Structure 1
Amino acid sequence: MGTGAEDGGHAEDGGPADAGDHPSDGDLADAAVIRTRALTKRFRGGHVAVNGLDLTVPEGSVFGFLGPNGSGKTTTIRMLMGLIEPTSGTARVLGQPMPRAVRTVLPQVGALIEGPALYGHLSGRDNLLRYDAADPTADPRTRRARVGAALERVGLSAAAGKRARAYSLGMKQRLGLAAALLQPRRLLVLDEPTNGLDPQGMREIRSLVRELASDGTTVFLSSHLLDEIEQVCTHAAVMARGRLLVQGAVAELAARARGRLVVTTPDTAEAARVLKEQGVGDVVVEERGDRVTGEPPEREPAELNAALVAAGVRVRAFGVREASLEDAFVALTGEGFDVAG
């Protein structure tokens, strides 16, 4: 896994605050696979990449860690994995303090962070053999069988003999994921796992994540793609500018927003005018050209439909679309989500 900083800068001089040397009885009984309290990372020059993060990842969840590029997601993951030390605050992974318990925790964790570190002159198969040989818990007698199974699981069996330098970005992502799957893991940490994949590859990775979760693995998945989180995750947390905005079950987060009024009509300009006059906020004519959306006002939707018809708008469909995670983000921040990073 990579070790480059997402947010730039160099670590501030001086040691971190106490990372939790003595777990309390409450912590030992806690089913959270990841728990942070006031976790903070400040880089030299005063840039605060992660600011007072309180995060709780339930055991058995597929947990989406969501935020625009540069929001602090990768810096947080690097602290959780013991790659960098926090400036202050605490982090516990699998009930153990990090980074102090890194040697105990990491053998139980599969991770793909900031893209895989590969030997370009070696084949995909030989890269995985090297990864596995570096794991002191791995049984060398079953190494080749496990490498073969991991390659098949991510769809790289046919390209296993090709040198890694000839792999596309999406193939490298798959190979990194295969490395994380060489051994059964209690926790799988994936940083932007669908980066570089085509739509079919993205669907396959999402299916694999669901399969792993059904087998009992907790999956912690960071992404800047709202629809990716919404399709595969049971729980999510939203980061922005180094701070946690909200966390909880995905369905509950989406339910906090009011959804969108959707009108399908060939008369989009006139429909937008009428809706604004009727108090509908954030009226948008969508790119497909025959649909107008907006924030529904506090009134009976049938009245809006009647107003449209009275104005001569040809209404082909009218309703309120269920709130999405994107709607919830906009409601929380008052701004759109920068899916392009």
Structure 2
Amino acid sequence: MDEASATAGERTGDGVIHTRALTKRFRGGQLAVDGLDLTVPAGSVFGFLGPNGSGKTTTIRMLMGLIEPTSGTAHVLGRPMPRATRAVLPYVGALIEGPALYGFLSGRDNLLRLDSADPTADPRTRRARVTAALDRVGLAAAAGKKAKAYSLGMKQRLGLAAALLQPRRLLVLDEPTNGLDPQGMREIRALVRELASDGTTVFLSSHLLDEIEQVCTHAAVMARGRLVTQGAVTELAAGIRGRLVVTTPDPADAARVLKERGVADVVVDEDRVTGEPPEGELADLNAALVAAGVRVRGFGVERATLEDAFMALTGEGFDVAG
């Protein structure tokens, strides 16, 4: 696949990734992905969000041609998968279900071996590209260390370095911050933003709502194998009402007044009292708190988050660590 044909395929409006009714049912009847219609815009950082077991990795494996769908279609860079796997994958960097490494080789030698297996890679620039990739993910100092001695976070970094050995049109990352400490998470998220600014489309699977909100321009939410919603991150929670938040040293009294005034789902958490914003003028509610002797230190409605949107759309909880 040449650059012109690939770009032409993306100009059809179908996006860098486009699926239609994509379905995967495993032997035994388990329905892992159910009728997925997904569109990933070119140049986006696209968050693929859902609890563990929601069908994210199965979807990615179909997109990369690793498994065939039971029904439906998937196009990557304008070409059908898995039929066009050989033409598409040289333009795609991927880190799926953790990196596959040779434990007896150093980090550098792992990358050298992986690069030498790529028929499109120029052997004359191999060592320079490996060095640059290691430096980009913060592994330059550990390049000579055997991979079996790497921590989980270091292995994740090495897998990401492998995906970055060549310039990529699309980068597919499955839980890229898994096993990283907070500083490592920040560094990888910064790298994702940098790659996107260079024009690479990044498809990032995660169960961390926090991660998606911090780095993604677009997102899709999966639950039990089905697509719940997709769109620009700024718009996904736009239709969801935020939470009323009252900060006070008198939380019990505040909770009582809010309930009396018709506020639903009142929750007390130390000096914070939250609830569903009522219809009507919020200033009147604040005045009622003050009139009842509640010392109000903070009063307002917090913007709805992806977590709020997910709860509203599915009624389910979510792992929001990150």
Instruction: Tell me the TM-score normalized by structure 1.
Output: 0.90
Q: Decide which of 256, 275, 297 is 1:294's aligned counterpart.
A: 275
Q: Decide which of 229, 247, 269 is 1:264's aligned counterpart.
A: 247
1:25-56 Cα shifts (integer Å, max 9, x gaps): 99762250000000000011111000000000
User: Does 1:76 pair with 2:29?
Assistant: no
The match for 1:283 is 266
The match for 2:318 is 337
Instruction: Tell me the TM-score normalized by structure 2.
Output: 0.95
The match for 1:14 is none
The match for 2:83 is 100
The match for 2:3 is none
The match for 1:152 is 135
User: Does 1:39 pair with 2:22?
Assistant: yes
1:285-334 Cα shifts (integer Å, max 9, x gaps): 23xx2212222111211122112112221110101111111111111112
Alpha-carbon distance in structure 2 between the residues aligned to 1:91 and 1:248: 19
> How many residues get paired?
315
The match for 1:20 is none
SS in structure 1 at match of 2:24? strand
Query: Does the CA contact (< 8 Å) of 1:192 and 1:222 recur in 2?
Result: yes
Q: Higher mean Cα deviation, 269-278 or 159-168? A: 269-278
The match for 1:4 is none
Alpha-carbon distance in structure 2 between the residues aligned to 1:284 and 1:147: 53
Q: Decide which of 222, 227, 232 is 1:249's aligned counterpart.
A: 232
Q: Decide which of 279, 284, 289 is 1:303's aligned counterpart.
A: 284
Structure 1 unaligned runs (5+)?
Answer: 1-22
User: Does 1:194 pair with 2:154?
Assistant: no
Query: Does the CA contact (< 8 Å) of 1:271 and 1:292 recur in 2?
Result: yes
Q: Decide which of 139, 147, 155 is 1:172's aligned counterpart.
A: 155
Letter in 2 for 1:254: A
The match for 2:31 is 48
Alpha-carbon distance in structure 2 between the residues aligned to 1:312 and 1:261: 19
Query: Does the CA contact (< 8 Å) of 1:68 and 1:339 recur in 2?
Result: no
Query: Does the CA contact (< 8 Å) of 1:156 and 1:175 recur in 2?
Result: yes
Aligned counterparts, 1:17-28, within 5 A: none
- In structure 2, the CA distance between the partners of 1:319 and 1:35, relative to structure 1 (3 Å rule), is same
Q: Higher mean Cα deviation, 303-312 or 176-185? A: 303-312
Alpha-carbon distance in structure 2 between the residues aligned to 1:131 and 1:145: 14
1:51-102 Cα shifts (integer Å, max 9, x gaps): 0000000000000000000000000000000000000000000000000000
Q: Decide which of 274, 293, 297 is 1:316's aligned counterpart.
A: 297
Alpha-carbon distance in structure 2 between the residues aligned to 1:171 and 1:285: 41
Letter in 1 for 2:315: G
Alpha-carbon distance in structure 2 between the residues aligned to 1:236 and 1:31: 16
Alpha-carbon distance in structure 1 between the residues aligned to 2:251 and 2:267: 9
Percent identity of paired positions between Structure 1 and Structure 2: 85
Query: Does the CA contact (< 8 Å) of 1:255 and 1:323 recur in 2?
Result: yes
Letter in 1 for 2:49: L
Aligned CA-pair RMSD: 1.5
The match for 1:328 is 309
Alpha-carbon distance in structure 1 between the residues aligned to 2:264 and 2:208: 25
Query: Does the CA contact (< 8 Å) of 2:14 and 2:39 recur in 1?
Result: no
Displacement of 1:129 in angstroms is 0.7
Q: Higher mean Cα deviation, 127-136 or 289-298? A: 289-298
Letter in 1 for 2:255: A
List structure 1 segments (4+ residues) > 3 angstroms apart after TM superposition. 25-28
- In structure 2, the CA distance between the partners of 1:247 and 1:81, relative to structure 1 (3 Å rule), is same
Letter in 1 for 2:82: P
